[in-house]
Amino acid sequence: MDSDGASEILARLRDVLRESAVEEHDWDAVVAETPIESLGFDSLTILDVLYDVEEEFGIALDPKQVVKTRTIGEIIALLQQNGA
Amino acid sequence: MLHLLEYWAARLALFGVDLLPPAAASRWAAALGSLWWTADRPRRRVAVSNILRAGVAGDGRQARAIGRGASRHMGMVLVESMKSARVLEDPERMRVDIPGDVAAVLEDPDRGLIVVSGHFGNWEIAGQWLSRYKPVAGISRPMNNPRVQKLALERRQRRAFRMIPKYDPDPGRFLKLLGNGEILALLVDQHARQGIDVPFFGHPAKTHTTAAMLHLVARTPLTFAVCRRTAPMTFELTLSPLIEQQRSGDRNADVEAIVRTLNSLLEEAIRRDPEQYLWGHRRWR
| pLDDT band (50, 70, 90) for residue B34 | very high
Q: Does pLDDT of B264 surpass 90?
A: yes
CA angle at B210 for the pair B206 and B216, rounded to the nearest 5°? 120
Give me the residue from B169, B179, B209 closest to A63, CB to CB. Answer: B179
| pLDDT band (50, 70, 90) for residue B103 | very high
| Chain B residues with CB-CB distance to A57 below 8 A | none
Angstrom distance (rounded) from CA B124 to CA B275: 17
pLDDT in tens, B172-202: 999 999 999 999 999 999 999 889 999 999 9
| pLDDT of B150 | 77
Please, what is the average pLDDT of chain B? 91
ipTM reported for the complex, 2 dp = 0.90
Angstrom distance (rounded) from CA A52 to CA A17: 9
| pLDDT of B154 | 73
- Residue A51 phi, psi (nearest 5): -55, -50
Average pLDDT on B205-230 reads 96
pLDDT in tens, B62-94: 999 999 999 999 989 988 887 787 778 888 899
Give me the residue from A41, A55, A67 closest to B179, CB to CB. Answer: A67
Q: Does pLDDT of B19 surpass 90?
A: no
In one letter, which amino acid is B3? Answer: H
Non-local CB neighbours of B123 within 8 Å, separated by 6+ positions: B117, B185, B187, B225, B227
| pLDDT band (50, 70, 90) for residue B99 | very high
Q: Are B220 and B114 in contact (CB under 8 A)?
A: yes
Test B210 with A47 for CB contact under 8 angstroms: yes
For chain A, positions 1-60, list CB contacts with chain B under 8 A.
22, 36-37, 41-48, 50-52, 54-55, 60
Q: Are B64 and B273 in contact (CB under 8 A)?
A: no
CB atoms within 10 A of CB A38: 11
pLDDT in tens, B121-164: 999 999 999 999 999 999 877 777 788 777 777 766 567 888 88
In one letter, which amino acid is A18? Answer: R
